Amino acid sequence: MLDRGIFGERYEARIARAISYVDENPAEHISLEKLSAIACLSPFHFHRIFRSLTGEAVREFVERRKLEHAIALANKGKSWKYAAAACGFRSPISFTRAFKRVFSVPPSEFDLAAWWHKRNDRGDAFKVSSYFLRPAPSLDPEFKVDVVERPAVRLAVSRAWGGYLHPERLVGAYNRLRNWADKAGIEAHGGKISGASRDDPDLTPLSRCRYDFLIELPDGLVPPTHFSIAERKAGLWAIAPVAGGLDVVDRAWSMLFKSWLPASGLDLRDEPAEEVYLKLPENIGWTEFDLLCCVPVAHPQN
């Protein structure tokens, strides 16, 4: 992946716009020309810059994201035929071919645990976190979760690629956002900054995983062009406070996703979970945390 300093400052937000379009439109047949127009670049330059920043060709990225979305639908009980159509594949045959190309087996034979154990980065993942594919912990009766509405808000976004393998990239993305926020006079304390993983590390290679640091924007303020702008839509969130080291945070996420959520009867919304920083990392260090684990959930069906 190319040094961020060469292309990142200038083109990161443009590439992020194109990637957001892919994520938000899985059913669409998305061409290179379409994405390059969204990024306001020529197809030739878009493809070159995209690969430099992400480490993937455009076609490979689009195909992988569609397949990951299809697996998410299948995990929610949808048929593979439904998932293929919902993710823009023109026929079951083309879907199966693409699936085998990426995951080495047809969709009917896909098993997440078996595929995980064949991954080249599995050892690295276990060094990073105890969350990955571990059994669900018993639900602790003292594990506190509040379900609350959060309002819509505009956000400035600073993105790190491959941060699970290269923590310095996470720190760099955070520091870029914090330094700008200080210069712009934006309040960063008290939960104004959060972090969000845009990919599921159980499925996405760790080198391809995106992690975003987000800060709430005052009305009318436009951030520098190397930051993206996003919106957190108004909605319902399950929120659990956690304070401690990475092992404590890992356990809280496992408890929230693997134990509390199934018992709650609530469904996930198609938005990334967030870590909201009650105390900023530079104040308490990057090995201890005081944050809120926030999971987007849907309103119960009447």
- Looking at residue 300, its pLDDT comes to 78
Q: Which amino acid is at 40?
A: C
- Looking at residue 13, its pLDDT comes to 84
Q: Which of 82, 110, 138 is the last residue of a domain?
A: 110
Say which range, 16-25, 211-220, 264-273, 293-302, has the weakest mean pLDDT. Answer: 293-302
- Looking at residue 41, its pLDDT comes to 92
For the stretch 203-218, pLDDT in tens is: 888 888 999 999 999 9
How far out from the chain centre does Cα 224 lie?
A: 22
What is d(CA 75, CA 87) in angstroms, rounded to the nearest whole number? 14
- Looking at residue 169, its pLDDT comes to 92
Distances in Å between the Cα of 293 and the Cα atoms of 22, 237, 243, 300 are 26, 10, 10, 20
User: Do residue 198 and residue 288 come from a single domain?
Assistant: yes
Check pLDDT > 50 for residue 4.
Answer: no
- Looking at residue 119, its pLDDT comes to 80
- Looking at residue 213, its pLDDT comes to 96
pLDDT band for 3, please (50, 70, 90 cuts).
very low
Q: Which two tokens stand for residue 287?
A: 């090995």
User: Do residue 77 and residue 154 come from a single domain?
Assistant: no
Check pLDDT > 50 for residue 6.
Answer: no
Quick check: is 135 in a domain? no
Residue 37, domain CATH: 1.10.10.60
Question: Between helices 43-54 and 58-75, what is the axis angle to 10°?
Answer: 60
For the stretch 105-141, pLDDT in tens is: 999 999 987 887 788 877 776 666 555 556 777 888 8
- Looking at residue 302, its pLDDT comes to 47
- Looking at residue 2, its pLDDT comes to 40
Residue 282, domain CATH: 3.20.80.10
User: Do residue 64 and residue 161 come from a single domain?
Assistant: no
- Sheet of 146-150: strand order equals 146-150, 235-245, 288-297, 274-277, 193-197, 210-216, 153-161, 228-232
Quick check: is 273 in a domain? yes
Count of domains observed in the chain:
2
For the stretch 254-269, pLDDT in tens is: 899 889 998 998 988 8
- Looking at residue 134, its pLDDT comes to 62
User: Do residue 106 and residue 203 come from a single domain?
Assistant: no
Distances in Å between the Cα of 271 and the Cα atoms of 45, 84, 261 are 30, 21, 15
User: Do residue 89 and residue 165 come from a single domain?
Assistant: no
Contact by Cβ (8 Å): 223, 159: no
Check pLDDT > 70 for residue 79.
Answer: yes
Quick check: is 117 in a domain? no
Quick check: is 289 in a domain? yes
- Looking at residue 122, its pLDDT comes to 73
User: Do residue 68 and residue 177 come from a single domain?
Assistant: no
Check pLDDT > 90 for residue 75.
Answer: no
User: Do residue 95 and residue 161 come from a single domain?
Assistant: no
- Looking at residue 28, its pLDDT comes to 93
User: How many other β-carbons are positioned within 10 Å of the β-carbon of residue 166?
Assistant: 15
For the stretch 161-213, pLDDT in tens is: 988 888 899 999 999 999 999 999 999 998 999 999 988 887 888 888 999 99
What is d(CA 127, CA 108) in angstroms, rounded to the nearest whole number? 31
**Average pLDDT rounded to a whole number, residues 77-87:** 95
User: Do residue 161 and residue 264 come from a single domain?
Assistant: yes
For the stretch 265-285, pLDDT in tens is: 898 888 899 999 999 998 988
What is d(CA 53, CA 147) in angstroms, rounded to the nearest whole number? 37
Q: What percent of the chain has pLDDT over 90?
A: 58
- Hey, which residues does 277 pair with through a beta bridge? 291
Q: Which two tokens stand for residue 137?
A: 């912990």
3-state DSSP of the chain: CCCHHHHHHHHHHHHHHHHHHHHHCCCCCCCHHHHHHHCCCCHHHHHHHHHHHHCCCHHHHHHHHHHHHHHHHHHCCCCHHHHHHHCCCCCHHHHHHHHHHHHCCCHHHCCHHHHHHHCCCHHHHHHHCCCCCCCCCCCCCCCCCEEEEECCEEEEEEEEECCCCCHHHHHHHHHHHHHHHHHHCCCCCCCCEEEEECCCCCCCCHHHCEEEEEEECCCCCCCCCCCEEEEECCEEEEEEEEEEEHHHHHHHHHHHHHHHHHHHCCCECCCCCEEEECCCHHHHCCCEEEEEEEEEECCCCC
Which range of residues forms the domain containing residue 44? 4-110
Residues 6+ apart with CB under 8 A from 97: none
User: Do residue 216 and residue 279 come from a single domain?
Assistant: yes
User: Do residue 159 and residue 207 come from a single domain?
Assistant: yes
Q: Which residue is associated with the tokens 């990142």? A: 8
